[in-house]
Structures are given as C-alpha cells and as structure tokens.
Amino acid sequence: MPIEKSDLLQGTLDMLVLKIVALGPVHGYGISLRIRQISKEVLQVQQGSLYPALHRLEKRGWLEADWGESEKGRQAKFYRLSTKGRKQLESEESNWNRLASAVASIMQTAQ
Amino acid sequence: MSWWKSLFPKRASDAQMNSELRFHIDELTDENIAAGMSPAEARRRATLEFGGHENFKEQVRDVYRIRFVDATLANLKSAFRFIRKSPTFSATVILTLALAIGANSAVFSAIDAILLKPLPFPDADQLVRVDQLDPKNPRPFHLVAPVRLEDWNRLNSTFQTLTGYYTEDVSETTGALPEKLTEALVAPRFLQVLGIAPSAGRDFTPEEEHNGGPNAILISDQFWRKRFAANPDAIGKKLRFDSSSYSIVGIMPPSFLFPNRDVDLWSPVPPDAPYSQDRKSAWYTVIGRLKPTTNLAQARANLATIQSELGQQFPETDAELAVTIEPLKEVTVAGSRRSLWILFGSVSLLLLIACTNIIALLLARSAQRQHEISVRFSMGAPRGAIVAQLLTETFILALLGSALGLLVANAASSVFRSLAGSLPRVEEIRLDTRIVLYSLACSVIVTILCGLFPAIRGTRRNLSQSLGQVSRSQVSARNPLQWLLVGIQVALAVTLLSGAGLLLRSFQELGRVTPGFDPSHILTFQISTGWGETGDLKRLRQRTDRIMETLRATPGVEAIAISVGVPGEPFKYQTEVELAEGRADSEPKLVADNRLVSASYFATMKLPLLAGETCRESEPPTVVVNRAFANSYFASSQAMGHHLVASILGYSGAAEIIGIAGDAREAGLEQPPVPTVYWCAPIAEPGTFFLVRTSNAPMSMAETIRRQIHEIEPLRSVFDFAPLEQHFSDGLAENRLRTILLSFFAATALSLACVGLYGTLSYSVNVRRREVGLRMALGALRGQIVKHFLFQGLFVCVMGCLAGWVLALASARVLAGLLYGISPTDIPTLSAVILLVLVVAAAASLIPAIRAARVDPMQVLRDE
C-alpha cells in the first residue's frame, strides 16, 4: 500500500528531497518519479507537498535552481544541492539513522 | 548568484511558477499516454493530480510570504513579553531615552521653527531685506528714504514689488487714560509683499495711501481680542492718536506678527506727502519680494545699476549710496544661529551618552540571556531571526521612550519659550508632525545605534555554546567592552560639563564687571512721541524741558536725565566724526559711538568726569568724550578744546570738547567700552529713555511719575517702567538661556554617566561574587575588596576624564567668542570639572564596591 504525504514523518520529505537532489540536478517531476521508483511505489509524494517543500528548501539556501532543457526538450527548473544543503543532508541523515536504529531496537526488544 | 539578489527576499515570480508546474503536468500527461490513455484523458488525470492549480500555487507563495509577517508578529509579541518580564530594566531604558530624546526633540523644535522652517509667509524664500549703505554716514544704518524706495520699486526689473516700514509708539486716547500702542507705519504694497491678507475686513485702498486721503488702520489679532473682545463689529470703529482719528478697516490673522510681535496696528504712509520727498531723510526698513525666476545675484546687480543711475541724477544725495540685499530670514535669525546649534550639539551629545548607557545595559542583559539564546539556536533558529528579535525589543523600548520623550519635549519647549524671549520667532515654536517624525527617526537611529551591536555580539554562536559551561567555572569575568562604554560616557560628560563650566564662569565674570556708573536706584521709562515731532526741534525741546523740570520737582526724585537708548542694552550708533581742526590722512579716522543725552546724564548716572566740565545744552555746542576716545585719538589729554563735527539731531556746527568722562559699559556688560562722544541734546525723540534716580526702591515711584506726566501731557502715554538693573539683566538673556540649558544638559549627562558606571560596576560585582567569596575565604580583607572595585571604577573614570579633557580642548573653539573674561581653555575650570566628575564617580563606585565586600563567603561556596 502506498504511503501518502500525511503519513510521512514531519521533516522526512525534506530529507528525501535533499537526498534525491544530491544524486544530481533534477526537476520537480523527476524527484517525484525517483521517490516513487526507489521506494518501489511505497512512497507517493503529492505535488501539493512537493513544490512548497522545494521552494522552502530553495529559500533556506539548501537548494539552488536553474532553468534548463529536459530530456524531451521542454523548459524545466532543475534543482541542485548547495554546500549548505549538503551539510544539512549529512546531519539529517545521521539523525535519521540514529532515530531509525533506536526505533528498530525498541521494536525488536518489545517483540 | 549576483550580490544584490541576496539582499532581497527571493520571490518566485508567478510566471516561473506556472512554467514549472506546466512542465510537470506535461510530463505526467506523457506518462499517462504511455500507460495507454487517450491524450485528453491523460491531460485531465495529470491536471487532477495537482488538486486545483490556484490553491496549490497559493501554498507555494506562502513559503515566501507568511514567514515575514509571522516572524514580525512573533517578534513584537516576544518583545512585549520581554518588557513585561523585566520592568526595572525596561523602565531604565525607556526613561533614559525619554529624557534624552525629549531634550533633543525640544531643542530640535526650536531649531526647526527658528532656523529651518521658512518665515510664516507664502513663498517666503522670495522675501529679502534691502538696505542702503552710506559709507560716510552709517546712521541711520540701513534705513531708506521713502522717495528712494518708490524709485527702486518703479525702476527695477527683478522684484515683484518693494515696500518699507518703521515702528513707533503712539498714545491712543479714546479711553480714560492714554494707552501706549505700537504702530507700524508702512509704505504702500506692504501686505502684497508679505502675501498675507487680513482675516477680516480689507487691505488699504489706494485713496488711503494718498496724501490727504482717509485715515485707515489695520489692527492685530491680539489687540482686537484685548480691546474689542474679538467682536467682529470692531471693523469701522475709530481710534484716536495725535488728535486725529483713524478707522479700523481690517483685522490681521493671529500668526501675522510682522515686523515684530508687539505691533498692535498698521497704518499707511502716503508716498506723495510733502515730508516723504526729502532724499536725505531715510526712515524705512525696506523689504521686497523677488520675482520667482530671479535670484539674489540678479537682484543685487539690478538695484546696483539703478542706484548708480540715481547717483548721476541726484549726485548730492545718491552718489555715495550702495545697496545690499539679504534674504529676510537670514537677517531675522542669523544672530541666534550659533547659540541654537551649540545647544543642539550638546543635546545630541546627551543622546549619545544615553545610547552608550543603553548599549552597556543591553550587553549585560544579553549576557544574562545567553541561555535563552542558545536554546533558540539549538531549536534551529537562524542567527538573523534572533538578531531581528533582539532588535525588535530594542525598537519597542526606543519607541516607548520617544513617545514619552514627546511629552518631555512638550513641557521642555514651553520652558524654552519662556526662557528664550530674546530669540526671534519663538512664538512659532510648537510640537507638530515634523517633531513627531523627528522623534520617530531618533528612535530608529537609537535602535540601530544601541541595538545592533549588542544583538550581533550576543548571538555569536561560539559564545552562546560555550557560555553554558563558562559561567559556572569562570573566575573573573572581564568585560573590557562595557568599561570602554563607561569611559566614553565619562569623556562625553566631561566635555559637556567643561562647556557648561566655562559658560557659568563667564556669566560669573560678567556679574563682577562694574559698568563704570551706578545703575542702582535708577528708574527708566519712555513717553510716547512720534517721529513727526522731530520736525519742530524747538517745540520738542521745550516739551522735554518741561517734563524734566516737573519731575525734578517731584519728591523722591534725586536727579533726572534722558538718553537715546537705554544704558545696558546694545544700541549702536557708531559714526565717523570729523575734526573741525582737520586731521592728517595718515592718522586713524575718528570712529565713535554717539550717545545723545541731557547734560544731567553724568550726575544722574554718577558717571565721573575725569577732566573739564559737563557739556552745555546751550549754544555754542559742546560735547564730552570718554577716556577711550581721548586716549585712542589724541596724545596725552590733548583732546580738550578740539571741535567735532557730525550730523546729529539738534546739533549744527562744530562742537567743542569740554570734558572727558570715565569709560562706561553702556552697550551692555559684556561689551568693553569703546570711544564715545556724548552729545548734550535734551530732545526726547522716539526711543528716548527717561532715567530717574530715586531715593527709594525705583519701581515704587512709577505711579507718582505716571500721574505727574499725565497732568502736564494728558495725550501721551508713559510706558516701559523698569529699574535700570533690569535692562542689564535683559541684555544677558540669550547668554543666560545658553548657560542654563547647557548646565542642565551637562548635569543630566553626568548623572547618566554615573548610572552607567554604577550599573556596570554592580553587574561586574554580581558576576564576580564567586571570585570575591573565594578570595575572602582565602583571607582577603573587606577593605581590600572595596579598594579593588573602587579602583576599577575610578581607573576607567580617570581614563574617561583624560579623553574628555582632550575633547573639551578640541571643542573649545566652538565657545570662543561667547565667553567673557575667561579663556576657552581655562585650566582651573577644566580641573574643577574633572575633580567634580571624579568625586561623583567615586560615590557611584563606592556603593557596588561595598556591596561586593558584604558577600558572605560561606553562602557563595554553598551555592556551588
């Protein structure tokens, strides 16, 4: 069953977006596509959350954006990770890992 | 990215947002087509997935918009919470600012009204004063003959129009007793030049401005209220002066106070009257309104050409004359500019001291708030947001301070108005929107000046992270910055105090000056008379003699004299006098102050004669000169017997010098005696003062004298009763205003600096309680602790005093010329100021130092 935006942990979407963008410059459609593909259709990001998130991240200076041509020759806005964004991603990743392993160990102990 | 982009919040333009979304929908449509849908269906599904374009775009826009508004609201809320939570701190800051901004706004309101705002006439920058200057006979200094005024007005091409006026005191005799009124006699076009219309009634008609036309007057709003209780029926009523009656044709608006605030009525002088035709009798002060397209230089060139043409036409009277033109505002306010800017400078220093004080308070405060700030950092707040929050707090404090300051300014400017009666345009000083805006600007500047630095310093990340641990383990919190601020305050206070000290000493010196005669027990007054009466000198003289004889016979009067102008107030009537015997060209010209007095002047004033005898009022004419005149122009007392020639009212022919009087300071106490010639002309022209030496208190004789004069001169009013000493004191009014205000500012500055010192030392004692406890536990004596803190405070003060001394010496130039009998770098004054500052500073340091010594070591160690 796909997990929708409201079920995503607060702040997780930002981290996912940063992670995808870290792989290389990509447009909004590409990000939603990748999240779907990589999560094997488990995570579905609604456009209504994705674009505000992208603009928020850009405003914070974690993402930078340029206009360019897509594979099909259409004009598209491509997002890149800034240096600041890379640092943010690192700290969020390590936080996430700590949280995930903590949650995992609690779940295991409780079983 | 270009640098400027970072200055502005990035705003996704709608167009860009649209194309970004369109791209996404296009891609989704392609994807749907690839999945096997029809193109129309594919598009519909793709669009649907966005759940409504507009709603969605709004969400993206919110990313940029709401943040700012939210943040500002949150900052305001937290600022008010902060102020509520620390009432003492907030009250200190608000009161300090209220005082400093209030004083600043009050002085600014005076500067604005007197120096900055245009005169209260439409297009006032077109108004100019036009003077005629005779290099040979500077008296009457700037006055212009009526017929010449008409020539200028007719011939020029640069003025819209020119007019002139003079004032005299008249007696209005429709009441039970004659009432003295001040009348401005004006040339045609007077209201036209000033651009003001009567608030009721009308301007003069051309017939009223012609010789033999109906007598008409305009009255002032003040006189209308006083005499007619503001009844509109006043128009058409008649007043009587000089046995003619005049109809009131109009009432001027309350703001119209030209030529001065005492004028009760205006009446026209016909330019075609026979007495107006003499090119030599000059009596008008001339003002003009320039054409909008001309400037001063063009007007000057234009009138110079016209005057030189008049000089060819009338070589005898006009050839030597030059014309000067100055802006009317400049002529009106130039004299008080320096005093006002000095006051503004000192009040700005005061604001600077207050700011320094507040910076110190905020620094101490932000050190106490480190915990709160580090918590906010750890919650992920960017530094900018915290700085914005701290600045909002300072701004709210500054705003409250300046609002309260406006109340202070309101009170202060009424004090200012009552103290500054001698300044021009004081009646125009009021609190208006300009002053409110100025206070607002002050609070913004204060916010930036005081708030920015502590906010930036308080939010240094390494500081905020480390402080959590430091505050417990630190032994000695040194805060050189706060001490530097205290030093600056002390230095500025010393500068202000030196200025005030010098002005006070100078005022004191003036009190010690003896005028050269005995001004006590002299009553002065005037009796109304018109310039027209000077046409018949013989009658005028008889009248003057009769008044003096009557008064001399009055019991309680010891002596009586007259003098044109009153001793003690500036009255310049300086001319070149010629020597009948001739004088070599190599010798200096004889320039002298002329004083027109009665022969009894010397005895009445107890002005000693050094040689010879008093001048006689009879022919052949004789004069007395003062010692300065005799010494500067003649070798050892050879002045006697020479003959002087000058055109003085009532004098004709050469007058022999038959006496030498002692030097007297008749032009005011601060004016050293200049070469003076006393012309004994017992003629009471307008502006003549009667001087009566009384056996009792001078003012107790006023009623008796008024009754005596009413008996012999029932149609004249007697006015301006005052003891002579009062005139001396009035002559120093502007000096006194300066001195009082600067002393007040300096005292405030000193108390602010002391509060700063006390606060900083208290804070330092607080932070170092642990260290003090530890020291005492290790055997330090209380005396040593007191000494330690006392010296810490005093050391900073000594440094501040040294800096202040240098500043005071550097700014001494500003005061030079305003001081009497004392050098602007007077060492005793500066030393006394520094001593005073050190004593007060020691007192302010002693309290926290003693409190430090009271620390209980056991208590402190237990707290660990």
Residue B687 backbone zone (phi > 0: left; psi -120 to 50: alpha; other: beta): left
Largest CA distance in chain A: 54
Per-residue pLDDT tens digits for B522-565: 999 999 888 778 778 888 889 999 999 999 999 989 999 999 88
Given an 8 Å threshold on Cβ–Cβ distance, is A51 in contact with B21?
yes
> Among all chains, which residue has been given the structure tokens 């007007």?
B299
The reported pLDDT for the residue numbered B792 is 87
The token pair at B402 is 């300046």
> Among all chains, which residue has been given the structure tokens 């007060």?
B840
Q: Beta B557-564 vs B622-626: how paired, if at all?
A: unpaired
Going by CATH, does the domain composed of A5-110 fall within 1.10.10.10? yes
For residue B12, what is the nearest residue in chain A, using CA coordinates? A55
Cβ contacts of A26 on chain B, cutoff 8 Å: none
B97: closest CA among B365, B390, B408, B368?
B408
How many helical (H) and strand (E) elements, i.e. helices and strands, does chain A have?
A: 4, 3
Given an 8 Å threshold on Cβ–Cβ distance, is B56 in contact with A70?
no
* Candidate from B9, B23, B56 with C-beta closest to A29: B23
Q: How many CB atoms lie within 10 A of CB B425?
A: 20
The reported pLDDT for the residue numbered B419 is 75
Q: How many CB atoms lie within 10 A of CB B570?
A: 11
- Alpha-carbon distance of B336 to B637, in angstroms, equals 41
Touching check for A59 and chain B: CB below 8 Å?
Answer: yes
The token pair at B570 is 């500036």
Cβ contacts of A72 on chain B, cutoff 8 Å: 27, 30
Given an 8 Å threshold on Cβ–Cβ distance, is B49 in contact with A76?
no
Touching check for A5 and chain B: CB below 8 Å?
Answer: no
The token pair at B616 is 């006689």
Structural contact between residues B587 and B638, judged by C-beta atoms closer than 8 angstroms: no
| Residue type (1 letter), B509 | E
Report domain extents, chain A. Answer: 5-110
- Under 8 Å CB pairs connecting chains A and B tally to 56
The complex scores an ipTM of 0.82
Q: How many CB atoms lie within 10 A of CB B616?
A: 15
**Is residue B647's pLDDT more than 70?**
no
Helix axes A47-60, A28-38, angle to 10 degrees: 120
The token pair at B237 is 């009523």
Q: What is the DSSP string of B205-233?
A: PTGGGSTTS--EEEE-HHHHHHHHTT-GG
> What angle (nearest 5°) sits at the alpha carbon of residue B736, between those of residues B730 and B741?
145
For residue B664, give the 3-state DSSP assignment: coil
Distance between A109 CA and the closest CA of chain B, angstroms: 31
Residue B588: DSSP 8-state? P
Helix axes B733-767, B827-853, angle to 10 degrees: 30
Structure confidence at residue B344 as a pLDDT band (50, 70, 90): very high
Structural contact between residues B558 and B693, judged by C-beta atoms closer than 8 angstroms: yes
State the best of A10, A17, A50, A51 to mutate against chain B, taking most chain B CBs within 10 Å: A51
Structure confidence at residue B61 as a pLDDT band (50, 70, 90): low
**Is residue B681's pLDDT more than 70?**
yes
Ranges of H-type helices in B53-131: 53-85, 87-111
Per-residue pLDDT tens digits for B783-819: 888 998 899 889 999 999 999 999 998 888 888 777 8
Q: Beta partners for B596? A: B679
Cβ contacts of B32 on chain A, cutoff 8 Å: none
For residue B25, what is the nearest residue in chain A, using CA coordinates? A29
- Side-chain-side CA neighbours of B663 within 13 Å: the count stands at 16
| Residue type (1 letter), B629 | F
Element (H, E) at B374: helix B370-378
Cβ contacts of B20 on chain A, cutoff 8 Å: 27-28, 51, 76-77
A63-67, B215-219, B271-275, B425-429: range with lowest mean pLDDT: B425-429
* Residue B561 φ then ψ, to 5°: -145, 165
B517: closest CA among B693, B683, B758?
B693
- C-alpha distances (whole Å) from B51 to each of A44, A77, B48, B56, B162 are 15, 21, 5, 7, 79
Spatial strand order in the sheet of A26-27: A26-27, A75-81, A63-69
Touching check for A77 and chain B: CB below 8 Å?
Answer: yes
Element (H, E) at A77: strand A75-81
- Alpha-carbon distance of B606 to B516, in angstroms, equals 9
User: Residues in chain B whose beta carbon is closer than 8 A to a beta carbon of chain A?
Assistant: 1, 9-10, 12, 16, 19-21, 23-24, 26-28, 30, 49-51, 56, 59-60, 62-64
Cβ contacts of B28 on chain A, cutoff 8 Å: 29
- Alpha-carbon distance of B550 to B711, in angstroms, equals 10
- Alpha-carbon distance of B613 to B578, in angstroms, equals 22
Q: How many CB atoms lie within 10 A of CB B299?
A: 21
Helix, strand, coil tally for chain A in percent (to 5): 60, 15, 25
Distance between A108 CA and the closest CA of chain B, angstroms: 31
B32: closest CA among B50, B44, B20?
B44
Cβ contacts of B30 on chain A, cutoff 8 Å: 72
* Candidate from A46, A58, A70 with C-beta closest to B23: A70
Cβ contacts of B63 on chain A, cutoff 8 Å: 52, 55-56, 59
Structure confidence at residue A61 as a pLDDT band (50, 70, 90): confident
Cβ contacts of A75 on chain B, cutoff 8 Å: 19, 23
Residues 6+ apart with CB under 8 A from B475: B770, B771, B774
- Alpha-carbon distance of B314 to B321, in angstroms, equals 11
**Is residue A7's pLDDT more than 60?**
no
- Side-chain-side CA neighbours of B607 within 13 Å: the count stands at 27
- Alpha-carbon distance of B454 to B363, in angstroms, equals 5
Average pLDDT over every residue of B345-355: 91
| Residue type (1 letter), B68 | F
Per-residue pLDDT tens digits for B162-203: 999 998 888 888 877 778 888 999 999 999 999 999 999 999
Structure confidence at residue A91 as a pLDDT band (50, 70, 90): confident
* Candidate from B10, B23, B49 with C-beta closest to A74: B23
> Among all chains, which residue has been given the structure tokens 């007696």?
B171
**Is residue B2's pLDDT more than 70?**
no
- Alpha-carbon distance of B506 to B732, in angstroms, equals 12
